[in-house]
Structure 1
Amino acid sequence: MKKLRFTLILLSLTFCLIGAATAGLAASKPVNLKMVIWGAPKHIDMYNKLLESYKKTHPHIAVEIIIAPYGEFTEKVTSMIASGNPPDITWWSEDSLTYFADKGYFVALDGAVKKWGKDWQMADFYPSTLEGGRWKGKLYAIPFSTPAPVLFYNKKLFDEAKLKYPNENWTWDDFDSALRKLSKGEGANKVYGVENLLDKGTEWQSLLNLIRAYGGNFMNAKRTRCVINSPQSVTALKKYMEWVNGGLSTKPGIAAPFEQGRSAMFLGFMSMNARFDGVKGLDYDITYVPKGPAGRKLRGGSAFLVVMKSTAYQKESLDLLRFLSSEEGIRVQSEYFGPPRRSIGLSKEFLNPATPPANKKVFIDSLQYSSLTEHFPLFVKANLIAQEEFDLMVAGKQPVEETLQKIQTRVNALLAGK
């Protein structure tokens, strides 16, 4: 939380440096590009493999891949800019994309995409994924990962509990019933029904999958007002707190890893496969996130590639972006990420049931139930407010009703400029 606040302060100090960038200068050879990601070492291996193909036609370009933890990512990038050593191309999360686009940190891509032409096949992208990269009518980001959340489940633990595997017809009530039968043991031998429903163990936004299913939401359709304080949201969060306080789910920040058999289920994205890759004895598959009274309404998320306006190598960075987002580039990245291109997501190679999880088509089919929440610049600050109040609720310091009332009041005051 403090680091994110630091990032927001640092923006005002670093923005002036963008105008001094040397994007228009001709790059000397060789060219060394820096690419910042928040991934795992396996992702670096994946990119190095992909870049071998790129270097065959661009031998003068070297790409250094730098890992920054997700929670420190924007701080890392803005610090690099402030130090005069900016990255050239980076990943970027949808939650802060519009904020930074609005501040002018990214190169607008419309002209480049037009030059890339038909060979790049813009129509191959799912329209909703490209829309997430737009702000005020301009395209600033190209998706490389288009995940909708899915439900991972441990087949062995379901078999031991004599339960049928979850399927597309499951409701949150079915989920609740299974939790009570799957949770067992005490202490170090405790097995939970579900590893915490929160992305990265603490982020409240993942609960929108539950809140929306019961008819609530964080923002209205135009993203102009917070509407989270509703009876539907109260019902959803009380159910969540019952799971946490009842020992059916791990508490935020407490690890009971799914891949170690400590939790029977796990709500996550395709990128989580990197955690499970090569784990011996783990027999798992995926299915759809459960439905609620309002249906299946998921909090989706996309991860994007952007070119920083502060780069000294804009031409080379744009060409690297073209390659990484091409059909070849997305095919290689789809080893770990939900592909935003139809040609890859529906390919036999991607859907191959011989590599886990077998039911990969769920990754693609779940996109129809998914929508973004964060597509407005002030989401960064609104999210801080919601996380603060949510943390108090989970710590038992305030009830669900008070939490939702405070979030809505504070976020709407923020939006009103108060």
Structure 2
Amino acid sequence: MKIKSNFMFKIVPSVLACMLALSGCSGNSTKTSSELGGSVSGKTVNLTMSVWGNPAELKVYQKGIDAYTKEHPNVKIKMIPVPSDGYEQKLLTQLQGGNASDVFYVGDTTMAKLAKKGSLAELGEFMKSDESYAKPDEYADGLWGAAKQGDKIYGISVDCNPVVMYYNKKMFKDLGIKTPQEYFDDGKWNWNAFNEVTKKLKDAGKKGFIAEQWLMDTWIWSNGGLSFDESGNYVMDQNQKAKDAIQFVSDLMKKGQITYAGSLPKGQGLDAMFMSNQVGIVAAGRWLTPMFSQNKSLKFDYISWPTNTSNKMEPVQIPVAYIAVNKKSKEVDEAMKFATFYVSKEGQKERLTGNGSAVPSVSGIDDIVTSDKTVEHSQYLIDGRETGFASGSPKLFKGQVPGLNKEIEDQYDLLFLKKQDVDTTIKKISEKSKKMIEEFKAGN
């Protein structure tokens, strides 16, 4: 994903001022590429952009590049696919060696490392300028994660994937079980309802729900609990609601109503089990939708996470990836222009229209999701985006500390494999979290 020509900035300031005065442009408004205008014919600007992704995803990325270069024909952008396994290490090595791409994708767990190392161009000031295609206030606060350090911005979410639950509508109907949406419409889609439906599914010979350990903060929030507070302080060991949420999930596993994904036979995933009508409910972002939609016999819908509070919805976790700019790029200004285009309304519309695997991270083009009639209640994805949190946000501060996510997930893994109890799990998570956070802060 590349950038934009610098040629326009060489226009005589007085002429530019007259043009702006005549057009009546506001300094705070977001510009589309047509409003900013294509780059005037001049030197060719060559940019490189590193990404990970399967062949289908690469085609989606290319749409964003093509839309930009169509408006700016003197800008050439070469996309460099890198295998997802080893992507982070290769990026870190290239940045250290001074030969990284001008623009690159950054995973949410990698962002904290790069932002702290000073490897990334700061984008916040540029995004406030007329030359930016996107403004910071077009993105929900929870999406910034580790990409925002104080008032500095080092990356922008390329899209997002708020977590929802998927349920098999046909299975519920065939078994005569009240659907999650019916509970929700009655104002009763809560833990009690989740307990009821998963028990009925189990009693009917099905698996109720397949859980993954990385989503435990969503369960904790659904009870009004916290692992980290609004300032990023670790508080789970002092938070009874967090403990109760972990106990709730653990208890339903012991009853056989929840199945731990990590206990499934090798090669058997929750997606295949859902499509083969073995499980009634699974959780994921929008990425499972294209696969499920291809199975014409599968009738499914989304539902928000069940809560144990007075609210119908609570925040959920939001997996994201960011686009960032190499601080040492020889074309850093151009790179920032392209990066903001790629994540702008125009850029995301080019990439995500017809692609049902992600949700726009930018506001104003929600119809890309809500107009998709494949799934009836797509609005839950938008709701999740507006209230949820990406890794590295204060309430998911563990994402700022290299390695802490994995350490915590390893402890949940032991709990769900019935190798330790809830109290032991919380004790070990607390010890590891406090130690690693203290070391992290001491080193910065």
Question: TM-score scaled by structure 2?
Answer: 0.75
Distance in 1 between residues matched to 2:45 and 2:384, nearest whole Å: 43
Instruction: Quote how far apart the aligned CAs of 1:108 are.
Output: 0.5
Structure 1 pair 332–248 and aligned structure 2 pair: CA distance change class (3 A): farther
1:293 equivalent in structure 2: 309
Instruction: Quote how far apart the aligned CAs of 1:83 are.
Output: 6.2
Distance in 2 between residues matched to 1:192 and 1:52, nearest whole Å: 45
Letter in 1 for 2:407: I
Letter in 2 for 1:99: K
Within the candidate set 92, 97, 110, 1:78 is matched to 92
Structure 1 pair 261–78 and aligned structure 2 pair: CA distance change class (3 A): farther
Distance in 1 between residues matched to 2:276 and 2:46, nearest whole Å: 43
2:162 equivalent in structure 1: 148
2:51 maps to 1:36: yes
Q: How does 1:220-259 map to 2 (within 5 A)?
A: 220-228=229-237, 230-253=239-262, 254=264, 255-257=269-271, 258-259=274-275
| Greater Cα shift, 125-134 or 408-417 | 125-134
Instruction: Quote how far apart the aligned CAs of 1:127 are.
Output: 4.5
SS at match of 2:295: coil
Distance in 2 between residues matched to 1:78 and 1:205, nearest whole Å: 24
* 8 Å CA contact 1:330, 1:339 repeated in 2: yes
2:214 maps to 1:195: no
Instruction: Quote how far apart the aligned CAs of 1:344 are.
Output: 0.4
Within the candidate set 259, 262, 267, 2:278 is matched to 262
SS at match of 1:223: coil
2:172 equivalent in structure 1: 158
* CA displacement, residues 129-183 of structure 1 (integer Å, 9 cap, x when unaligned): 3576321321111122233321111111111111232123310221121112223
Unaligned runs of 5+ in 2: 1-41
* CA displacement, residues 61-86 of structure 1 (integer Å, 9 cap, x when unaligned): 133242543x7442242244456642
Letter in 1 for 2:69: K
Instruction: Quote how far apart the aligned CAs of 1:101 are.
Output: 0.6
* CA displacement, residues 93-132 of structure 1 (integer Å, 9 cap, x when unaligned): 4344233211112110124323444764554333543576
Structure 1 pair 83–261 and aligned structure 2 pair: CA distance change class (3 A): farther
1:400 equivalent in structure 2: 422
* CA displacement, residues 324-375 of structure 1 (integer Å, 9 cap, x when unaligned): 1121112134433222222102x3x432143x22221111123344235633
Letter in 2 for 1:227: M
Distance in 1 between residues matched to 2:350 and 2:292, nearest whole Å: 18
Structure 1 pair 80–264 and aligned structure 2 pair: CA distance change class (3 A): farther
Structure 1 pair 116–132 and aligned structure 2 pair: CA distance change class (3 A): farther
Instruction: Quote how far apart the aligned CAs of 1:277 are.
Output: 4.4
* 8 Å CA contact 1:285, 1:358 repeated in 2: yes
Larger Rg: 2
2:367 maps to 1:352: no
Instruction: Quote how far apart the aligned CAs of 1:404 are.
Output: 0.2
Structure 1 pair 79–184 and aligned structure 2 pair: CA distance change class (3 A): farther
Distance in 2 between residues matched to 1:344 and 1:230, nearest whole Å: 38
1:219 equivalent in structure 2: 228
2:364 equivalent in structure 1: 343
